Structure 1
Amino acid sequence: MPTSASNPGRDDQQEPHRPQQQPHRHRQVAESFGVDAPRYDRARPRYPDELVRMIIDAGQHVEGRAPRVLDVGCGTGIAARQFQAAGCEVLGVEPDARMARFARSSGVDVEVVTFEDWEPAGRTFDVVFAATAWHWVDPVVGPGKAARVLRRGGVLVVFSHVFELPGELAESFAASYRRVAPDGPFAVDRASGRSAVRMYLAGYAKVAGDIRRAGGFAEPKQSRFDWRREFTRAQWLDVAPTTGVLTHLSASARARVLDDLGAAIDAMGGGFTMSSTTLALTAIRTESS
């Protein structure tokens, strides 16, 4: 779902856009997604059903009750509703009141607060996950707090989509963004020659290191789910404004980038096929702390 290549998180819808500094320090970007919560919920892709089932099975919940799930940075509740549909009891934690309001309207229980400041009040969970949101969490605080609220045998899961835009479209986007926001918080660059998936895998390796240092977890394991999707011009121009690379821009600057993207898609025949991967990192809570 425009995020740090070394920090998987909420805003990774394009390839590769790297915040100049640690993403969790860019609160103004992290809390910019609610500018158009209905569009965000409508346009953002859902997560593979196989991933949802894998996470629930890994959580080893107590027989006879629904799995208890904590969604860190739940946004509008996209992933939360998928877990609810699979029979889970879900609590969301979301710092943006606009996103939380939308999630509540769709049936998700949400507490408006950052994960770092959230008070569990003795509650424990079978699953703690962050769906395209973990990079907004302090990497020192996050894993330790997840360990404290997970029951033994529960699972921490960090997952996100990684989209590989066709080369000509990615290049058009990068050039347009550099023109309108040369001093923006994201380094938009196609020159590295590295695929988005490779960059995100490096990011997940860093998250795994954070989890190891926190203690209380078995060795983190990576999973991936590959898929493809066709986008029309209108569909992609609905997705693009929901990314942090664009939400922090002024309306006029955002419109210029979208005009350039639209022209690039028109030049490709009015649509394109995008290869996508959903990456996941899972770590089981152990008895040790």
Structure 2
Amino acid sequence: MRCDVVIIGGGVNGCSLAYQLSKRGLDVILFERDYICSGATGRCGAGIRQQWSTEENIVLARESVKIFENLSKELGEDIGFRQGGYLIAVHDEKELEEAEERVKLQRSLGVNVRIVEKHEIKEIAPILDPDGMHAIAATFCPTDGHADPFKTTFAYAKRARENGAKIYTHAKVVKIRVDKEGVKEVATDGGVEVSCNYVVDCAGAWSREVARLVGIDIPNVPLRKEAIVTERLKRIFDCMVISFRDGIYFSQQSEGQILGGIPGPDERTGYLFQPTFSFLHHMARTLTRYAP
């Protein structure tokens, strides 16, 4: 086989790239070592925020939100995009000064964000206890939100296929042949060989392994981050809640589940998928302080 571009990795980055390139007429093949959304995409917090501290990230996020606002229509599938806002807790005067600087920069770049006073926190999210959060204020951007990572990625993959892209799952790339002119061929563990002009490494936590196939060592290290998902509840709040100091984040998903995470006491590197009780205990104690 031959194509213009081989993409390695079937998460949202790989599938969205397959869609964008195939839409522009390129011949694309995507290889995923497991199944679509089997990596970080299928285990993420699903948040989309514009509240960053550098101009580059703010502009990138702002333009991404514009894409997400029209993406369901473009892809012809409901991707579960909801704009309930992001509320980021401010815990002391030093954090408040830093938040004011961030908000000033964000607003100068066209992001609708503001500082909210302590009493407004509960107005935005009645479930929250500002005293339990140890919050003196917060920042809030109503156009931040979240999208369903599975619906989004599968919609991208579906449209990419309709555009002519080929997607192979359970196909691990084990060899990339290069010469002085560049990439020549990609081979999988199933014996599939593809000649191509370009290879894009979208393998996430496995991107370092892929890069090593062409003699490049990138400083990516897999690190387990745990999360909880509750049973479905009635709608009780709309925004994503974050604290940079405590490290916690949580939101209510479209189907009613509370999804959230926090740095665990036993975090360590490696391809680790088993949960830890220490994380669950730490998350539960912190979450109930924020939302008793």
- Higher Cα radius of gyration: 2
State the TM bucket, normalised to the shorter chain: under 0.3
When normalised by structure 1's length, the TM-score is 0.25
Scaled by the length of structure 2, the TM-score of the pair is 0.25
Which structure has the higher relative contact order (CA within 8 Å, separation 6+)?
1
